[in-house]
Structure 1
Amino acid sequence: MIWVEPAIVVVKTLILLLGSGITYIAFRAYRNTGAPSLKALGVGFGIVTFGTLLGGIAHQLLAVSLEMGILINSALVAVGLAIVLYSLYLERG
């Protein structure tokens, strides 16, 4: 299974690119509208994207175990998704 780690790097890179794009668009929309929900949405997706980046860097460059890298990623994804959920709640209010 020597292909697994390179595949993880490719998928994490794709997530980083897509997440960065979503974060950028959300913040640009926030600047245009001033809607707090769009700001929270951008922060949430930014944290999700940062979690992917940090988990990957911890494993690849800092010699952290794969399990710990996954834990770091998962914790930040959970926080980011909670903020995304909050942003949707703001829109209702």
Structure 2
Amino acid sequence: MIGLSAVLLIAAKTVTLVCGAVLTALTYRAYRRTDSPAMRALFVGIGLVTVGSIFAGSLHQMLDFPVATSITVESTFTAAGFAVLTYSLYTEQPSD
């Protein structure tokens, strides 16, 4: 039988996947429309955070990796994603 904490984890990862996929798709469309380096960085950053969360959850739930390993993987992707998101705020906008 699956425990309550596993159900909550799966529910949280599902919400992360859905919201992250929508945000990633919207920022990708905005990047394609504007060809802005800042939008490209925003798209990559959100994508990294989303993929890291899903990848880490999958490692733990499907491949029985230890929780500490999964959290380390997720934290690495999250840190990289936030670094790219921070970079996106300082990227020059193309001049018209």
TM-score normalized by the length of structure 2: 0.90
1:69-88 alpha-carbon deviations (Å, 9 max, x no partner):
11111110010010000001
User: Which structure 2 residues correspond to residues 22-37 of structure 1 after superposition, within 5 A?
Assistant: 22-37=23-38
1:12-37 alpha-carbon deviations (Å, 9 max, x no partner):
11011111111110010011111110
Q: In structure 2, what is the equivalent of residue 12 of structure 1?
A: 13
Gaps of 5+ in 1: none
Q: In structure 2, what is the equivalent of residue 51 of structure 1?
A: 52
Find the structure with the greater CA-based Rg. Answer: 2
Gaps of 5+ in 2: none
1:85 aligns with 2:86: yes
C-alpha distance in 2, partners of 1:45/1:66?
23
Count of paired positions: 92
Q: In structure 2, what is the equivalent of residue 39 of structure 1?
A: 40
Question: 8 Å contact 2:52–2:78 — kept in the other structure?
Answer: yes
C-alpha distance in 2, partners of 1:29/1:72?
29
Show structure 1 runs of 4+ deviating over 4 A. Answer: none
Percent of pairs identical after alignment? 36
C-alpha distance in 1, partners of 2:93/2:24?
21
Cα deviation, residue 66, structure 1: 1.4
C-alpha distance in 1, partners of 2:68/2:13?
15
Cα deviation, residue 63, structure 1: 1.0
Cα deviation, residue 92, structure 1: 6.9
Question: 8 Å contact 2:38–2:93 — kept in the other structure?
Answer: no
